[in-house]
Structures are given as structure tokens and as C-alpha cells.
Amino acid sequence: MERWNDALTALQLLQLYPFGFGGVCLRAPHGPVRERWLQALAGLGIGLVKVPGSVDSERLLGGIDLAHTLQTGQLHLQAGLLQQADQGLVCLPMAERLSPALLAPLVQALEQGQVPPTRHSAAPSPTRFGVVALDESLPDEPGVGAALAERLGVWLDLHELSPSDIHAAWQGDSESDGLQIRLSPGALARARELLPQVQASDEHMQALCAAALGLGIGSLRVPSLALRVACGHAALNGRSTLDADDLGYAARCVLAPRATQWPAEPSAQESEPAPPEDATPPPETPEPPENADQAPENDAEKDKDPDTAPPPEQNPEPSAEDLQEMMVAAALASLPPHMLDALMTRQGAASHNTSGRSGQTRAGSQRGRPLPPRPGRPGGQARLHVLATLRAAAPKQRLRQAHSTGRVAIRAEDFHIQRYQQRASSCLILALDASGSAALQRLAEAKGAVELLLQQSYARRDSVCIVAFRGAQAQLLLPMTRSLVRAKRAMTGLPGGGGTPLALALKMAHEQAAQLQRQGVTPILVVLSDGRANVTLQGLGGRAQAQLDAQSWGEQWRASGHRALWIDTSMQPDAQAQQLATTMDASYLPMPQVQSQRMAHAIERVRSPHA
């Protein structure tokens, strides 16, 4: 198949120049298809260094060789994994799970062509390498980090390929089903000699930029990578100028996987220039006489002269517009059905659900609740657990006495590191409906429930934020606080009556949640309302438009991925409130007779979903 052929061509490009176009981002699950591609990658003869996701910064960038230093008593440094991959490739298994702390120095070294300095090295060392990122994420999960994926020229997706497709594509090949795609030394030398001589015209560059813009690609780095890939493809095929095959491969493997929109087709009115308004119509042509049908043909035959006739054009060079149309067509033809819709949905989806009991659990090595130590290499943020290390080394001292000099003999397998577990603080955003439909009977009980929640939050050192909405506006009644006295004072003076600007309340709650998330706080929303919105975002009346505005902001809250609870305070379970709760992906709880203790328990269950 064409997709498998493109994947093998990418291997030849890696052999030609591993660091010339950033590398390859391979989206494929575990299976024979990916294993065959990786087997062919290992057979290229290029240095390949695997970087696991658990590696620390010192092992990645270089630092002290602690085991050798303890054995000899002298300081010894070791080269990092990126330095070992110089002039070769770095393979990232499960690249979608790499932490930002690991991606940042990797992207910096990939961008600048040098390893960033550590505390043990004074200056960065020049290092050039390519990256092979193995993306094993599902369609509804976030993939490789955007900073890294943008710098990898070729994107391959082998999800839809099966082993039978590979065998069918390479049927008749006698060399291990096509896995021997390594270039011979002579062919590799010729391609590397030809690569600097490949010419790209202005029309080629203009077509690449226009095709990227038409497919919704806003990064200027992508057309540059596509040009490098096209030049490498031309050098592999022994051409010194780019042609349609080279640009087509760049369109399929560089531009198409990054497409976010269908290219806009020019309308007929835009393609044909409109005549000016003041232009006079052309004069009518008189009809020729009936017996004058042959006259124009005879005159034309007399005017023809084979010696003076212009020679026909032979193989005219395609224009930039033709090249752009060809590249866009090649990119769209390589896209699977509904791929653009899936990409847009995937980009809009939240990467993680950040809700929890007392905030998101974070594993750390500096502070928090102590956890049992585990074997590991100290360095970076991982601190050495001295007592656990000595306990692990003590039973082995008799075996190590022959090589020791009186000191305790400690090896690398004895190292244990400290571990802590800490939870990010959470903030409960209470959106209270103080309109006329809810204020008379239920506002007092809602205030009592809020006071109970404030007491519980104060005991856990969590925060509370109160948004009240009534009339034609939503008011931030209480910013994020832990003060119980301040919260009681704000709740005491809360008036009731007026319209229900539900959309404004959801908008304000969304803004507060975004601000809390930037501060490292987990937001949880609790709405106490009957859901009967009758005030729009502009503060005007109108139930239909007010309900649409509330639905819109409910969808935005759902996209944020935060937990929410909707307490329906109407006398009977209301369909509008249930619909809004479904839109927000919130838990729904009808409570006609509001009880402060019951409301507090319901909100507590939302704060601890696993209890």
C-alpha cells in the first residue's frame, strides 16, 4: 500500500540524513506492523538510543556518575543520552506520556542542535540528532506534545494497516518481505552528494506555503520541513530538481497529517472578474449572410503559413497555482475518512480530568506525605534516601570486602530515592441562584449549606468561591478564600429577587475556574438553581436566547473537564435543569425541599467521587 511505502521511504530519509528534518512521529499500536517498521529502523545502521519516560534530567543531559564516584572516591562524569545519540537517532517509546520536564530540554536540544548545560557542565555541547517518537495514544487521548510534534517533519499513521496489507504491498520481494530497505553504501554516498545540489524554485516554495495555509497550518516551520523532505526524496531518486512526486510525498507525509480544515474552493464569481459598473455593453455583432459560411474558413487557410506559425509549447513548467492544487489534492487523497473531524475534536478535548477529592494528586520528591522509598537513581529532583540505601547495601558487605578499602561498599543497585505524595488544593465554586424564583423559599437553606461546606473546607485547608446571580448580572460575591468569617459576612448580605441570568453565572464561573487552574488549584462547580434562565448574556430579557446562551457556556464548562454538580431547587424535577446538567457533564440532584445537611453531603460526594 502507498502508506506502507511512504513509511519505508521515511526510513530511507532517516538513513540519508537523520537530523535533517527533525525526525518521524509514528502513530501505531503494538503489533506486527509497528514491529516490522522498528525492525527495519534498527537495520539501517544508524546509532539508536532509547530514552524511557522515567529518565531523569541528569541521565538525559549528563551529570555525575554516582556509582563510579562512590567506588573510586573521585568525581566522575558521564555523558547523557542525548550526547550518546550524536549524529544518530533518539527513540521515544510512549512519547505521548513524556513529562514537560523531559520534553523541554529535548526540544531545546533538537531546536538548537546542542545539549543544554547542566550544573556540572559550563557550556552546551554541540549535538545533532533526529527523533523517532512512538505515539501509542488512542484517538480520544492527547498525543505527543505540540512543541515536539511540530519539530518532527514526517508524521506517519499506521493504525489502519494490517499484516496482510504489508504482505500484499511487498508481494514478490525476496528480501524478508521488504524489510531490507537499507541503502547500499554506493547509493547512500551518491544521494548524500546529490542532496546539497537539489534545486527548489520560487514556485515550489510558494506552492508549499500556499498548500499549508489552505490546509489550516499556521506554523512557518512546517513548510520548511516539507521542503527538506521533498529535497531528500528527490536525492533518493537521483534528481537534482524537485518534481511532482517529491512534492506529493511531502504533501502526504508532512502537510496532510497536520491539516485542520478543508481548503476553501474559489467560487465562480471570484474566479471571473466582474465588469465595472460604468462599462458599456459591447456592440452587437451583425449576423453573417447565409452564403458566407465558407468565406472565413478560406481566409483562415490563406493566412496560415507553416513557416511563420508559432511552435507549440513542449512540457510547459507548471505554475505555482497548479503545484498548489496538486499538493492539496495529494494531501486530501491520503487523509482517511473523517480524519479532520477527529483532529478537531481531539484538539478541543481536555487532556485530563483535573477533579478530585482535595485536588489533583501529584507525585513529588520534595514535600508532601512521605511514601515508602523505592529503588532508583538519585539525581535532578530525586533525592537519595540514605537509610534505605544503607539497609540495601548492608547484607552484601561480606561479598564486597575484597574490593573495598574499609568504607561501606555501595553499588548502583543499592540506591533508593525518597518519595512524597502531595495533593493540589481545591476550590469549590458555588453558583447561587438568588433570583425571584428561588430566593423566597430556598435561599436561606442554601446559605446554611454553604456555611457547613465552608467549615469542612476550612478543616481540609481548601478554598471556597461564591458567585451569586440575580436581576441582570452575575456578581463575584466572594473571591477564593479560606476565611470562614469573611464568607459568613458575604452570605449574610446576599439579597434575593429579579431575573435569572444563568449564562452570565456560568461564564463567570468558567473564568474563575480558568484562573484557579493557572494557580494550580482544582476547581469544582456547584450550581444551585432551577435552570429557568430568562436573561441573556447582554442582560436583556428573552427565555429562548437566554437558554441558548446557558447551553453554550455549559458546553464550554464540559470542554474544560472539571467536575460539576447541579442541584435542582425547583419544586418538581425540571427538564431544562436536567438538560443543562447533561450539557455540562455534571451530576444532577433534584432537591425540592432544600436541606442544608443533605446538600452538604451531596457536595461532599462530588468532592470525593471514589469514596
Q: What ranges make up the beta strands (E) of 305-423?
A: 361-364, 369-375, 416-423
167 pLDDT tier (thresholds 50, 70, 90): low
Give the gyration radius of the chain's Cα atoms: 34
| Average pLDDT over every residue of 580-609 | 74
| Average pLDDT over every residue of 52-62 | 79
Task: Give pLDDT, residue 319.
Answer: 67
Task: Give pLDDT, residue 123.
Answer: 56
**DSSP designation for 556:** H
For 519, the grid coordinates are 494557580
359 pLDDT tier (thresholds 50, 70, 90): very low
Cβ count near 13 (within 10 Å): 26
Are 335 and 221 spatial neighbours (Cβ–Cβ below 8 Å)?
A: no
Please determine, for residue 25, whether its predicted confidence score (pLDDT) is greater than 90. yes
Cα–Cα distance between 456 and 459 in angstroms, integer?
A: 5
Task: Give pLDDT, residue 344.
Answer: 46
Return the top range by mean pLDDT from 177-191, 307-321, 503-517, 525-539: 503-517
Return the top range by mean pLDDT from 168-177, 179-188, 275-284, 452-461: 179-188
What are the residue boundaries of the structural domains of the chain, listed by start? 1-172, 183-263+320-349, 361-423, 426-607
Task: Give pLDDT, residue 379.
Answer: 67
Higher-pLDDT residue of 399 and 314 is 399
Report the percentage of the chain scoring pLDDT > 90: 9
410-430 pLDDT, tens digit each: 888 888 888 776 666 788 888
| Average pLDDT over every residue of 11-17 | 90
Task: Give pLDDT, residue 270.
Answer: 42
78-118 pLDDT, tens digit each: 788 888 888 889 999 988 888 888 888 888 888 887 666 66
Cβ count near 65 (within 10 Å): 17
Cα–Cα distance between 564 and 555 in angstroms, integer?
A: 12
Task: Give pLDDT, residue 269.
Answer: 40
For 311, the grid coordinates are 511552435
Sheet hosting strand 426-433, strand order edge to edge: 473-481, 463-470, 426-433, 522-529, 563-568, 587-590
588 pLDDT tier (thresholds 50, 70, 90): confident
Which CATH architecture group holds 183-263+320-349?
Orthogonal Bundle (1.10)
Cα–Cα distance between 249 and 240 in angstroms, integer?
A: 16
Task: Give pLDDT, residue 346.
Answer: 44
Higher-pLDDT residue of 198 and 462 is 198
Please determine, for residue 352, whether its predicted confidence score (pLDDT) is greater than 50. no
| Average pLDDT over every residue of 44-57 | 84
Say yes or no: do domains 1-172 and 183-263+320-349 share a fold.
Answer: no
| Average pLDDT over every residue of 526-537 | 86
Cα–Cα distance between 350 and 357 in angstroms, integer?
A: 19
Please determine, for residue 146, whether its predicted confidence score (pLDDT) is greater than 70. yes
Higher-pLDDT residue of 361 and 464 is 464
466-482 pLDDT, tens digit each: 888 888 888 888 888 77
Lowest-confidence region among 27-31, 137-141, 434-438? 434-438
Nearest to residue 422, comparing CAs of 461, 460, 373, 367? Answer: 367
Task: Give pLDDT, residue 218.
Answer: 84
Average pLDDT, the chain: 76
Nearest to residue 178, comparing CAs of 33, 393, 75? Answer: 33
Return the top range by mean pLDDT from 264-273, 334-343, 449-458, 521-530: 521-530
Higher-pLDDT residue of 547 and 593 is 547
CA distances from 232 to 99, 225, 324, 354 (A): 32, 11, 20, 44
| Average pLDDT over every residue of 492-511 | 83
Task: Give pLDDT, residue 317.
Answer: 61
Task: Give pLDDT, residue 229.
Answer: 92
- 335: exposed, middle or buried (C-beta count within 10 Å: 0-12, 13-18, 19+)? middle
Query: Residue 91: in which H helix or E strand, if any?
Result: strand 89-92
152 pLDDT tier (thresholds 50, 70, 90): very high
Domain 426-607 listed as CATH 3.40.50.300: no
Task: Give pLDDT, residue 587.
Answer: 85
Lowest-confidence region among 221-235, 250-264, 396-410? 396-410
295 pLDDT tier (thresholds 50, 70, 90): very low
CATH number of the structural domain 1-172: 3.40.50.300
